[in-house]
Structure 1
Amino acid sequence: MTDRAFATRAIHAGQAPDPVTGAIIPPIYQSSTHVQDGIGGFRGGYEYNRAGNPTRSSLEAQLAALEGGASALSFASGLAAEDALLRGILRPGDHVILGNDVYGGTHRLLTQVLAPWGVETTMVDLQDLDAIRAARRPRTKVVWLETPSNPLLTIVDIAAVAEVAHAAGAVLVVDNTFASPALQQPLSLGADIVVHSTTKYLGGHSDVLGGAVVLGDDRFAEAVKFQQFAVGAVSAPLDAWLTTRGIKTLAVRVRQHSENAQAIAEWAVQRPEFETVFYPGLASHPGHEIAARQMNGFGGMLSLGLTAGPSAARAFAEATTLFQLADSLGGVKSLIGYPPEMTHASVRGTALAVPENAVRLSVGIEDVSDLIADLEEGLARIAAS
């Protein structure tokens, strides 16, 4: 399947018709346990749902094919995936270099959950390769980056950071949630491991929670698999099936997300109400050239800095109709959020704090003329208030 185009892999990888009935879509194996043919005689290797489930196996094969990985593991959430990965490859006293513009939940996991366990974290601007080199320590084991980042759409050169990380004997982990494998495959650029919140673009319909770890090789496969089995934060069969269904339309959905977001970004830069438009598809974005080189499109996420300041940003987030006020992203419906008090509230007052005048848009696949009209109506409402 690796020789097939991305859209073909998204539909067919791990999705063979049911061999018994011929059902074109593999069934949901909604079972907690599996009958054994004698003690230890596992059919297909399946014993108990925490250890493995055929529906989850189908999703994991699909995920590995999309990212070009050796294997993948599916979890109950993105943070569950990150936790299992980090506990699998780190030990007390190890050191992580973390981008200074990452998802607040990742920052919280490392600095509040894993720090008491003895993991140390240094935050740096990963666009600055010298800063990464300066932050290296003898026990630096992981460099962790997001690109595009959440929520300021910072673009980091994956290949360049991979070279620096590997020179330090560290592995490079890339959170590919914002781009999705439809737009970017970090393993092909030198990353070692990819993580996803499959809740977002991979699921794509705001109806499932999940996470994934995709491993470029087998070095850490057993360690992360053990964490998954021992702790048990696995995706349930129905959640896995919903994610496989979402992935089948990923290629066409992401094209429309990207087209709509580009149009909205180009509209927004003409509006005096926005002092900043964070979108890598704009030639004015500082990471535009790198994004154009390492991505197949610029994605459906953008953030806007309101000229009138924080109060205007809060009001604007509450003033739209089609853009519905909610956490999360990557679904077919457009969402708007105020990161300082929503997705990134946990990092207020830290180096990861989001500008107080910023709103984040997850641009859906509705008609873009309706979306722009909705934003214009929102601006008119706050101007009139």
Structure 2
Amino acid sequence: MTKRPNLVRRTGFPESVSRAVVTPLQPSVVYASPDIDTLHAQYEGRATGYTYGREGHPNADVLAQKIDAMEGGEGGIILGSGMAAVSATLMGLLSAGDHIVGGNQLYGRSLRMLNQDLPRFGITTTLADPTDAQAFADAIRPETKLILIEAVSNPTLRVADMEGITKLAKERGLILVVDNTFTTPVGYPAYAEGADVVIHSVTKLMAGHSDVTLGYVLARDAGNSKAIYDTAVTFGFTPSPYECWLAERGLYTFDLRFDRAQETAIKLADFLATHPAVAQVLYPGRADHPDHARAQTVLNGMWGNMVSFKLRGGEDEANRLVRAAPQLAFAPTLGDVGTTLSHPASSSHRGLTPEGRAALGITDGFFRVSVGIEPWDVLQADFEQGLSAV
């Protein structure tokens, strides 16, 4: 009887004097160390290496280093989603009795976490208008530890008083956390401008193809970074190696996609502003935006790919637009290569009361558009078709 060869974990990876042009995908969940001494050295920081996928893996580190370079820092952490990044940051840095001051126009799930989930752990929140640094100052309490804001709010595209709030956080000794998903480091270099912690939903514009769910956190203080990392490992906010590999590939075309989408977004905002079915357009690059003067300083001409608008009507009119333009993907996401249309009242902000949405300016006829890289004439025809039904 022929002896069968042992094929299980015995064959080493082939050596080569040349190197792969594409980053190798490393899906291994676990990594073998040569002995106990080496494992001790790894966990104690005396040797560099990987142990278990939940604690880190090569594809996550490669992606983190590239986003670090975009933000101008080092030591960023990749997590399983944008909300995993928010969760690990808040749970890692806060304890029972602590207080947060948050922007009142944060992403819907961030608002839910601040208003409903963190109070169960004894962490309280006060929401304030991010366009008014004094409103943030008035909301600070003796137990306040952290400020959470977005440079440009979701979905109303209001531009925060970043200079005033950054100065306030430093004067009061508070941790300033900036969710930079909408703006990206190109639109607003949050880390360089003084944020203590920067968060990204890599799912969106950075990965850019709606086939990845990942988050990223960069903390300036090493102790804060370790607290966030330990929380992420303990809670299991593990990123997939394959999705990290896909996101890295998406980053290669980030600059091209950003520039093309922004160019088209400017045209779309101007087009919508002249359409009789549209009551209001919100785009930071337009002179009629309520924060345009501040946007010129904060965004420095990088207005971004996001456009919001309100129809002259409510949900019935909104439904007509969506149904009449099926080629515009009606989906609660942003940052895809294709343009997507989102209706916050029925998706990201459906958890708010009608009065709560109205206070933020979100009507039943409010849409948020994430502009993709389609040719302008194609996108214009799509919107003309949809708006003609309103």
8 A contact 2:77–2:217 mirrored in 1: yes
Task: Determine the structure 2 residue equivalent to 1:281.
Answer: 285
- In the TM superposition, what is the alpha-carbon distance from 1:217 to its structure 2 partner? 3.4
- In the TM superposition, what is the alpha-carbon distance from 1:21 to its structure 2 partner? 4.5
Question: Percent identity at matched positions?
Answer: 35
**Does 1:227 find its partner at 2:231?**
yes
Task: Determine the structure 2 residue equivalent to 1:195.
Answer: 199
Change (3 A) 1:369 1:151: same
8 A contact 1:314–1:338 mirrored in 2: no
Corresponding residue to 1:331 among 331, 336, 342: 336
Structure 2 residue identity aligned to 1:317: V
**Does 1:257 find its partner at 2:265?**
no
Corresponding residue to 1:313 among 318, 328, 332: 318
Change (3 A) 1:336 1:284: same
- In the TM superposition, what is the alpha-carbon distance from 1:352 to its structure 2 partner? 5.1
For 1:318, what is the secondary structure of its paired residue? helix
**Does 1:212 find its partner at 2:220?**
no
8 A contact 2:65–2:74 mirrored in 1: no
For 2:217, what is the secondary structure of its paired residue? strand
Unaligned runs of 5+ in 1: 1-17
**Does 1:49 find its partner at 2:53?**
yes
TM-score by length of 1: 0.91
Change (3 A) 1:282 1:19: farther
Task: Determine the structure 1 residue equivalent to 2:374.
Answer: 366
CA distance in 1, matches of 2:171, 2:315: 42
The answer to which of 27-36 and 317-326 deviates more is 317-326
**Does 1:69 find its partner at 2:73?**
yes
- In the TM superposition, what is the alpha-carbon distance from 1:48 to its structure 2 partner? 0.6
* Equivalent residues in 2 for 1:107-256, closer than 5 Å: 107-256=111-260
- In the TM superposition, what is the alpha-carbon distance from 1:156 to its structure 2 partner? 0.8
Please identify runs of 4+ aligned residues in structure 1 that moved more than 4 A: 18-21
| Cα displacement string for residues 16-44 of structure 1 (whole angstroms, at most 9, x for unaligned residues) | xx997411222111100011110252584
For 1:161, what is the secondary structure of its paired residue? helix
- In the TM superposition, what is the alpha-carbon distance from 1:262 to its structure 2 partner? 0.4
CA distance in 2, matches of 1:21, 1:113: 51
| Cα displacement string for residues 283-321 of structure 1 (whole angstroms, at most 9, x for unaligned residues) | 111212222222251111111100123321232233213
Change (3 A) 1:52 1:21: farther
For 2:88, what is the secondary structure of its paired residue? helix
Task: Determine the structure 1 residue equivalent to 2:105.
Answer: 101
| Cα displacement string for residues 331-364 of structure 1 (whole angstroms, at most 9, x for unaligned residues) | 1011112110112212234645522220111111
For 1:71, what is the secondary structure of its paired residue? coil
The answer to which of 133-142 and 281-290 deviates more is 281-290
Structure 2 residue identity aligned to 1:310: E
CA distance in 2, matches of 1:20, 1:231: 41
8 A contact 1:157–1:290 mirrored in 2: yes
CA distance in 1, matches of 2:188, 2:377: 27
| Cα displacement string for residues 70-99 of structure 1 (whole angstroms, at most 9, x for unaligned residues) | 321111111111111101110011111111
Considering only CA atoms, is the larger Rg found in Structure 1 or Structure 2?
A: 2
CA distance in 1, matches of 2:17, 2:369: 45
8 A contact 1:100–1:351 mirrored in 2: no
TM-score by length of 2: 0.90
CA RMSD of aligned residues (A): 1.7
| Cα displacement string for residues 227-253 of structure 1 (whole angstroms, at most 9, x for unaligned residues) | 111111121100111111111111111
CA distance in 2, matches of 1:84, 1:152: 26
Task: Determine the structure 2 residue equivalent to 1:379.
Answer: 387
| Cα displacement string for residues 148-174 of structure 1 (whole angstroms, at most 9, x for unaligned residues) | 111000101212111112222211111
8 A contact 1:93–1:120 mirrored in 2: yes
Structure 2 residue identity aligned to 1:54: P
| Cα displacement string for residues 106-153 of structure 1 (whole angstroms, at most 9, x for unaligned residues) | 011122221100110001102112211110101111111112111000
| Cα displacement string for residues 221-279 of structure 1 (whole angstroms, at most 9, x for unaligned residues) | 11111111111112110011111111111111101110111000011111121111011
For 2:258, what is the secondary structure of its paired residue? helix
8 A contact 1:159–1:190 mirrored in 2: no
Change (3 A) 1:318 1:122: farther
Task: Determine the structure 1 residue equivalent to 2:8.
Answer: none
8 A contact 1:158–1:186 mirrored in 2: no
Structure 2 residue identity aligned to 1:373: A
8 A contact 1:336–1:360 mirrored in 2: yes
Structure 2 residue identity aligned to 1:39: I
8 A contact 2:314–2:363 mirrored in 1: no
Task: Determine the structure 2 residue equivalent to 1:7.
Answer: none
- In the TM superposition, what is the alpha-carbon distance from 1:219 to its structure 2 partner? 3.6
The answer to which of 257-266 and 125-134 deviates more is 125-134
Structure 2 residue identity aligned to 1:80: A
**Does 1:91 find its partner at 2:91?**
no
